[in-house]
Structure 1
């Protein structure tokens, strides 16, 4: 399960501000969204909500996302939406405090989306962290997410 803001567009700056206030107050419930198109990612590495707890990187074949959760400050999320190209073998992970943790390798095809979730002991909400995608040709990462 991952936050619904990854599957729903924010229609205006006012909506984004209201969502930000609700998140800060801890009043928004999170659940998995229905299948949707690839996530929005701005040229500056922000998702549709425009908050530093969600960062992203657009690649030629998809979007890599990183999310922290105000309601569960021990949770970290990495998601990859593959929009085109042949199936590839990748692994997802996150980097924090000088170390990187990866999932095992998996295959993903065009149109697919994979989310990995990590739960750390302690509160890591305000620590800078990034999502990483590793494959045989190299590694991509998101800008750092933080409070």
Structure 2
């Protein structure tokens, strides 16, 4: 697992849960103060990202759910204007799995399912 702040890659999420790429491998959820997204790559790497547009700094755990099992990284602080992304290498056999991005920050939030 790799956890690092990044420049925001996902700043747009439509009402159907698609990012600007409009690909089923990248799905998102618009929240009051930001955008939660999940992306899976053909090499089996899954990334969950939260872009915080506004509001107070929060402590959150980013994660994913696959086959009914949830996995979370350690909590990170995310301030206004920041993006945090966590990635997991699940192996190429995980590609095209039904994967949901998760964020736990007092409540649990999730993206629509990413898939092929």
**TM surpasses 0.5:** yes
2: CA distance, partners of 1:50 / 1:79: 17
Residue aligning to 1:65: 37
Normalising by structure 1, we get a TM-score of 0.71
1: CA distance, partners of 2:78 / 2:17: 23
Give the conservation status (yes or no) of the 8 Å contact 1:38–1:62: no
> In the comparison of the two structures, how many residue pairs are matched?
111
Q: Which is helix-richer, 1 or 2?
A: 1
Larger radius of gyration: 1
Higher relative contact order (CA 8 A, sep 6+): 2
Tell me the C-alpha RMSD between the 2 structures.
1.6
2: CA distance, partners of 1:132 / 1:60: 16
Q: Which structure 2 residue ranges, 5 or more long, are not aligned? A: 1-5
Q: Which structure 1 residue ranges, 5 or more long, are not aligned? A: 1-33
Indicate which of 11, 31, 56 corresponds to 1:86.
Answer: 56
Q: Which is strand-richer, 1 or 2?
A: 2
1: CA distance, partners of 2:27 / 2:60: 20
Change in CA separation of 1:40 and 1:128 when aligned onto 2, cut-off 3 Å: same
Normalising by structure 2, we get a TM-score of 0.90
Change in CA separation of 1:96 and 1:38 when aligned onto 2, cut-off 3 Å: closer
